[in-house]
Amino acid sequence: MSDMYIYYFTESTGPYGEDALSARPATLKAIRGRGEPVMASQIVVDHTELDEDGYLVTTLDSASHSSNDLEGQIASLEVRAASRDREAIDCSDGVAKYMLSLESRELRKQARKLRSPRSELAADEFANRGDMAKSMYAGMSLAAEQTQTEILALRPRAAR
């Protein structure tokens, strides 16, 4: 199989040897001698997503927006599914070929499931921007009404 397990890891950096989390996850082989893997950060990727040193080519930036993280996960699932498809084409064993195509379908199914929340997340972000604009408009309307009331209060009674 072409799935690889990668991990973020802690490494000593700085003049005082402080531990910091790695910028990119890597395979255990690549981490050996550089730091300690954070086992809870395990990510499954296709071997084609790693560079020659065993590091993930595209970073999964934890500080990025949630939708960007989902896009990376979806892309990784699609790459892994395509890898299974290629292996199935080259496979001569019927059972193995079936299992590879089954895995490919399951990976694509997972990607479809992730696309739905991603769309919902994008819609929520758009709606939140709209809600913020509405609340700003409502605040401006309320201020305008108060100003109008204050102006009317200042007018002489005969002019009202």
Q: Are residues 132 and 78 in the same domain?
A: yes
Q: Could you report the per-residue pLDDT of 13-68, keeping only the tens digit for each?
A: 767 777 888 888 999 999 998 889 999 988 888 888 899 999 988 644 444 434 45
Structure tokens at 99: 């299992």
Question: Distance between CA atoms of 26 and 22, rounded to whole angstroms?
Answer: 9
Q: Are residues 135 and 73 in the same domain?
A: yes
Model pLDDT, residue 126? 67
Question: Distance between CA atoms of 55 and 40, rounded to whole angstroms?
Answer: 17
Q: Are residues 83 and 59 in the same domain?
A: no
Q: Does the reported pTM lie above 0.75?
A: no
Residue reference for tokens 């910091």: 20
Q: Are residues 74 and 59 in the same domain?
A: no
Instruction: Write down which residue in 31, 63, 95 finishes a domain.
Output: 63
Question: Distance between CA atoms of 155 and 71, rounded to whole angstroms?
Answer: 60
Name the residue range of residue 41's domain.
Answer: 1-63
| C-alpha closest to that of 26 among 18, 4, 99, 135 | 4
Q: Are residues 34 and 99 in the same domain?
A: no
Q: Are residues 42 and 19 in the same domain?
A: yes
Number of domains in the chain: 2
Q: Are residues 12 and 69 in the same domain?
A: no
Instruction: Write down which residue in 63, 84, 104 finishes a domain.
Output: 63
- In the chain, DSSP assigns E strands to 3-6, 9-13, 18-21, 36-37, 43-46
Find the range with the poorest average confidence among 6-15, 46-55, 146-155: 146-155
Q: Are residues 133 and 157 in the same domain?
A: yes
What residues contact residue 60 under an 8 Å CB cut-off, 6+ apart?
Answer: 25, 43, 69, 72
